[in-house]
């Protein structure tokens, strides 16, 4: 038996090969993540006598090139959580951290856990792309929030409160009415320099040209609000340029975010569980693809408890002697991206407040017991994940049996 430990880093990896009894077959050496480098590694490992197992850490996406190459070559690969390797004993009181030492440590771990190493399986391309799109969606969302706050802070000095005068939701292309309005009427003086009648006429033409609905009473409220506000910044070309650039950046990111969201919905529709997930109460077409992206193929979890643990919202027991802790915080030893989507989903269920929803009934029960907000939110997320696991696995098994 040959235990291969691979310490993965960006563009290269350190490889060490051990056999039982501490026999060193290959001292740690470097392998580049190039076609030739990976081909040479495959050739060397396949030339070893006896059974060979490779262990590496799950390090972002850097492990994927080498894991895929070895897996496609028919070599057993196991990708384990980095925390398991970190907690694995070195049998030494010295604290040493080098790539060579880590590769040897991984090889020793492979020998000790030989019979229980989980096998690596290549992820479906659609699921992989959906997860990448979701991570990019989250990044663009952060940028959009930052740019929107920047624009509001700028407009508070030219047309205070203009963003509160509109309640229209964002369009399919990501544009929002108050943002486009601010591009045209960027200073309160741009409104007050006109008579109310002239402003309403110009505003009506603007709405028609940009595809927004016009309401005469809303136009009157906007005009009255503009008259009551005072712009700190002067209504000149320099101020107009600042506002225009802020709006241009925000609309660009909002358009990209909308396009990414559409592609996420398309990718999610290619997966078998999409119809079941989007029909779940409180999910819908926006959160559905995000849940599918972060959970992945639910069949890879052996039980609903494993899915809850993957999300990091489980509360592991803590007991010693006569002491048995009754109040435990969630572990957070899981996917933070999944916890974020779950938090948004449960908050949405609370807002909708349908008594027909099992999760809402559970949330209402916990709230009636006087539980803290975050306590019953996480309890609801736990309940939601268990329902998700049951419905999706049942549906997928039905598809498999029908096939």
Q: pLDDT tens for residues 135-172?
A: 999 999 999 999 999 999 999 999 999 999 998 888 99
**pTM for the full model?**
0.86
Residue that the structure tokens 């590496």 belong to: 56
In the predicted model, residues of the chain with pLDDT beneath 50 are none
- Name the β-bridge partners of 324: 319
Residue that the structure tokens 């809850």 belong to: 308
Q: Judge residue 166's burial from the number of C-beta atoms within 10 Å of its C-beta, 0-12 exposed, 13-18 middle, 19 or more buried.
A: middle
- In the chain the domains, ranked by start, together with CATH numbers, are 2-116 (3.30.420.40), 128-267 (1.10.287), 274-402 (no CATH)
Dist CA 42 CA 47 (whole Å): 8
The SS3 call for residue 266 is helix
Dist CA 107 CA 334 (whole Å): 25
For residue 352, the model assigns a pLDDT of 86
Tell me the average pLDDT of the chain: 90
For residue 403, the model assigns a pLDDT of 66
* 340: enclosing H helix or E strand: helix 336-352
Q: Return the CA Rg of the chain.
A: 28
Q: Find out whether 298 and 291 touch, Cβ atoms under 8 Å.
A: no
Token pair for 11? 């563009």
For residue 133, the model assigns a pLDDT of 95
The predicted-structure confidence for 244-298, as pLDDT tens digits, reads as follows 999 999 999 999 999 999 999 999 999 999 989 988 998 988 899 999 999 999 9
CA distances from 288 to 43, 119, 280 (A): 43, 29, 9
Q: Find out whether 15 and 46 touch, Cβ atoms under 8 Å.
A: no
Dist CA 268 CA 275 (whole Å): 9
């Amino acid at each position: 038996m040959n235990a291969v430990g691979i310490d993965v880093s960006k563009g290269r990896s350190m490889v060490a090969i051990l056999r039982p009894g501490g026999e060193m077959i290959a001292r740690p050496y470097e392998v580049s993540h190039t076609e030739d480098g990976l081909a040479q590694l495959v050739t060397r490992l396949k030339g070893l006598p006896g059974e060979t197992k490779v262990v590496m850490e799950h390090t972002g996406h850097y492990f994927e090139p080498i894991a895929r190459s070895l897996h496609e070559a028919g070599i057993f690969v196991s990708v384990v959580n980095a925390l398991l390797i970190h907690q694995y004993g070195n049998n030494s009181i010295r604290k040493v951290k080098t790539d060579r030492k880590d590769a040897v440590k991984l090889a020793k771990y492979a020998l000790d856990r030989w019979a229980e190493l989980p096998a690596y399986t290549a992820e479906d391309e659609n699921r992989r792309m959906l997860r990448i799109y979701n991570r990019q969606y989250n990044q663009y969302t952060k940028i959009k929030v930052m740019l929107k706050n920047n624009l509001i802070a700028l407009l508070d000095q030219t047309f205070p409160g203009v963003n509160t005068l509109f309640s229209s939701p964002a369009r399919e292309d990501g544009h929002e009415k108050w943002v486009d309005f601010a591009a045209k009427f960027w200073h309160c003086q741009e409104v007050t320099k006109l008579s109310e009648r002239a402003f309403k006429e110009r505003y009506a033409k603007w709405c028609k040209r940009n595809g927004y609905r016009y309401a005469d009473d809303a136009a009157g409220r906007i005009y009255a609000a503009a008259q009551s506000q005072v712009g700190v910044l002067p209504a000149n070309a320099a101020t107009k340029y600042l506002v225009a650039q802020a709006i241009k950046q925000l609309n660009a990111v909002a358009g990209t975010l909308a396009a990414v969201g559409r592609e996420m919905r398309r990718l999610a529709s290619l997966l078998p569980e999409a119809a079941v997930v989007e029909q779940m109460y409180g999910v819908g077409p926006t959160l559905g693809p995000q849940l599918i992206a972060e959970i992945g193929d639910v069949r890879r979890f052996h039980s609903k408890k494993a899915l809850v643990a993957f999300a990091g919202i489980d509360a592991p027991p803590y007991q010693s002697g006569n002491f048995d802790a009754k109040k435990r915080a969630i572990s957070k030893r899981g996917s933070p991206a999944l916890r974020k989507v779950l938090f948004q989903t449960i908050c949405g269920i609370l807002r909708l407040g349908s008594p027909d929803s099992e999760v809402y009934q559970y949330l209402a029960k916990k709230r009636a017991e006087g539980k803290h907000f975050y306590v019953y939110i996480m309890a609801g997320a736990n309940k939601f994940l268990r329902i998700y696991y049951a419905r999706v696995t049942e549906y997928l098994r039905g598809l498999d049996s029908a096939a």
